[in-house]
Structure 1
Amino acid sequence: MRRLEVRNISGAEGNERGATSVMVALLMVALLGFAAISIDVGKLYWEKAQLQNAADAGALALAGICGKDESDVGGCSNASGVPLELAVASSHDALSLVSNSVDKLANTATVSTRSSETGATPNSVSLWFAQALGFDEAAIGARATAAWGGPTGGAFAFPLAFSECALHEFIATSAAVSGKSWLKYKDDDDQLPCSSIYHAANIVPGGWGYLNPEADAPGASDGACVLTLDLTDTTVYEGSAGNSIPGSGSECKAKLDGWVGEAEANGYAEVYFPIFSKVTTPPGGGNYTIQGIAAFRVYAWKLSGGGTPETFEANSYPGCSGNCRGVYGEFVRMLDEDELTGGGGRNLGVTRPPSLSD
């Protein structure tokens, strides 16, 4: 009877030894790669989030300081310590690196944050599992820019505009009289430095600066004596010819009645005036280039027309008689959060809350 017998042929058993070790070694590379992706990359995202939060908070804080007072040498500067304080507070190890860049011409504050870790190269964080693949560290940082400055638009009831030159003259004059003076549009003295701009009898018909609130004018609301301005584009706003209250007189007089009521209740009416830098004179009116928005507390005014509301308490404050037209009050600085729009425009006394621009 024949028997079948299995024998070891040519040492096949010995050839299979160590195969498992090779497979494990190969798989470990893949496992370490997945660990690097899941753990090290997660660490980088976590660090990036902290740095970005710190950069955002620092830029907003720095722009807020500059918006209140650009002359604050310690606060509104590249050397301000506020962004670093915020970065340290938001960092898990209080080691973040921070640099500031303040541009007062562009009204922007930029804060850059970079990672820092004990034992690691500056601007870098150490990696754990990726070291097995030859990557010991990774550089990581964040950046944020915030803008401050005046609003760039808004809806203006009773849109009376003054020149930038007149505003500067007013500030210089009022500084000597407790902050209050007449902001004049047309004066008996036509020799003032701004006479070619805003003493406008021979430039703008009627010598006045009412922006036209009629429906066919840019930004106008029909019949409401309201003009919506947008300083971010190149729109030139039409002026109303003459020095009488423009548009539908009853609506504009109603706005003045509102000023009267506010002044009688509070002692003054707080209003916004568009400020123009240039005016041209096509037939029948003027075209105004608006540069900014200024805030005033108005105590009295003398406009064309007789009696209230066109004229209010003008005789109580000497300095504007005869052909003089203007408002008596003080230029104020204020932070607007609701009435006006935009931000980062020219700061003429009215600023918006700082906002991130990138």
Structure 2
Amino acid sequence: MRRLTARLLRRLAPRRLAEERGATAVMTAMMLVPLLASGAIAVDVASYYSDRTQLQNAADAAALAVAVDCARGACGNTTATATALQSANASVADAFDATLRTPTVAVGTRRVDVTTAADAAHWFAPLLGRDSTRVTATSRATWAPTSGGTAKFPLVISWCEYVGQMQRDGNGNATIRVNATTELGSPDTCTGPDGVTPVRVGYAVTNGDGGNSACGTTSTIGGTVSQYTGMYTTSYRLPISCTDAYLASLVGTTVIVPIWDQVTGPEGSAQLRVYAYAAFYLEGYDYINRLDDPALVGRFSRAALPSSAATPATVSRTAPDLTTFDASYRGAYSVFLEPQG
């Protein structure tokens, strides 16, 4: 009886194994469909996020570009600007596999919001009935009065002088002589920006950063800058680091000019408190020899200083905006991206 059972089992074993192999093949075939679908979805999802990253870069670039224009006083055709920046940044090396749509732009008070969009085509999802997905990205750029920076030409001017220059020429054209003397017949003071406190008139050369090691002077609103001690005692009315070559390199650029609203200390070594920053487009400078008072020739303008950091140290939302005193006034503004999410 045992031999018969063993012989029977030996005969049935190959048949059972064949049946199991057949069942495995069926199960494998059944599982293959969802596995392939999952792989296809993974590819399309990866493509989606890649497209969105490029769109975000495009939105950031477009928002900054529009904000810079607005900070300078003329927003221009914001949609055209945003569209150009979107196209330039969302199709790098033809890697963007989506159809770009016209971006939307909303300009608010010292801010602009740009939303970029595209219809991203799928590679495998159409097999599941999904041909494309709308991808969007939004960025906000803000501009605010600059609250700190480096005056590449070491000059600080009185609030009185800035107002006087703008009243003399509404277009901002000016020649600023860098000395601390008052024009003959002009008053010694004017009413300060608070409408009450008298402010001394004049101009002053400032000590460069690190003494004579650098020509430019770094400052912040509310802080002070030091009058150049050699202004009246040396044969050169500027710090020695302000070489002719350095000054020539500034021509054709916009420099920030600190405006003081308070002076302490004796003339020649005074401390001047920075109230705000004007922006000055430098067309040239003039002096006959190093004993003369140099002059900056150019015009006051509106400057926009882009920054990639959100609310950088050079920006204060409460810093004085010169345009609040008069629409024709110009100042320096910093442009930056707001954090998202």
TM-score range, shorter chain: 0.5 to 0.7
**Quick one: which of 91, 112, 115 aligns to 1:112?**
115
Alpha carbons 1:171, 1:331 under 8 Å: kept: no
CA distance in 2, matches of 1:191, 1:253: 24
What letter corresponds to residue 249 of structure 1 in structure 2? Answer: T
CA distance in 2, matches of 1:161, 1:128: 65
The Cα shift of 1:349 comes to 6.4
The Cα shift of 1:290 comes to 4.9
Name the residue aligned to 1:285.
Answer: 270
3-state SS in 2 of match to 1:115:
strand
The Cα shift of 1:229 comes to 0.9
Name the residue aligned to 1:153.
Answer: 149
3-state SS in 1 of match to 2:155:
coil
1:140 and 2:135 aligned: yes
What letter corresponds to residue 172 of structure 1 in structure 2? Answer: Q
Deviations 1:23-65 (A, max 9, x none): 432343234223321x212321342244234324423442454
Alpha carbons 1:149, 1:343 under 8 Å: kept: no
1:128–1:12 distance in 2 versus 1, CA, 3 Å: same
Alpha carbons 2:283, 2:298 under 8 Å: kept: yes
1:190 and 2:187 aligned: yes
The Cα shift of 1:170 comes to 0.7
1:331 and 2:331 aligned: no
Residue identity over aligned pairs, in percent, reads: 18
Aligned pairs, number: 297
Alpha carbons 1:239, 1:288 under 8 Å: kept: no
1:210 and 2:214 aligned: no
1:247–1:149 distance in 2 versus 1, CA, 3 Å: farther
1:53–1:203 distance in 2 versus 1, CA, 3 Å: closer
> Unpaired runs of 5+ in structure 1?
118-124, 214-218, 302-306, 314-326
CA distance in 1, matches of 2:290, 2:86: 55
CA distance in 1, matches of 2:27, 2:54: 42
Name the residue aligned to 2:326.
Answer: none
1:164–1:131 distance in 2 versus 1, CA, 3 Å: farther
1:28 and 2:33 aligned: yes
The Cα shift of 1:99 comes to 1.9
1:220 and 2:227 aligned: no
Name the residue aligned to 1:87.
Answer: 86
3-state SS in 1 of match to 2:45:
helix
3-state SS in 2 of match to 1:161:
strand
The alignment's TM-score, normalised by the length of structure 1, stands at: 0.57
The Cα shift of 1:100 comes to 1.8
1:70 and 2:73 aligned: yes
1:169 and 2:156 aligned: no
Alpha carbons 1:225, 1:251 under 8 Å: kept: no
1:274 and 2:257 aligned: yes
1:126–1:257 distance in 2 versus 1, CA, 3 Å: closer
Deviations 1:216-263 (A, max 9, x none): xxx7322458353144xx56124439xx8548734535769967xx89
RMSD across aligned positions (CA):
5.4
Name the residue aligned to 2:55.
Answer: 51
Alpha carbons 1:211, 1:240 under 8 Å: kept: yes
CA distance in 2, matches of 1:191, 1:155: 25
1:135–1:272 distance in 2 versus 1, CA, 3 Å: closer
The alignment's TM-score, normalised by the length of structure 2, stands at: 0.59
Name the residue aligned to 2:325.
Answer: none
The Cα shift of 1:70 comes to 2.2
3-state SS in 1 of match to 2:58:
helix
**Quick one: which of 41, 45, 52 aligns to 1:41?**
45
Alpha carbons 1:52, 1:144 under 8 Å: kept: yes
The Cα shift of 1:161 comes to 1.0
1:225–1:101 distance in 2 versus 1, CA, 3 Å: same
Deviations 1:295-352 (A, max 9, x none): 2556768xxxxx9545469xxxxxxxxxxxxx58542549899xxxx98797946789
Deviations 1:161-182 (A, max 9, x none): 1134532331221249x94567
The Cα shift of 1:288 comes to 1.0
CA distance in 1, matches of 2:253, 2:66: 28
What letter corresponds to residue 171 of structure 1 in structure 2? Answer: M
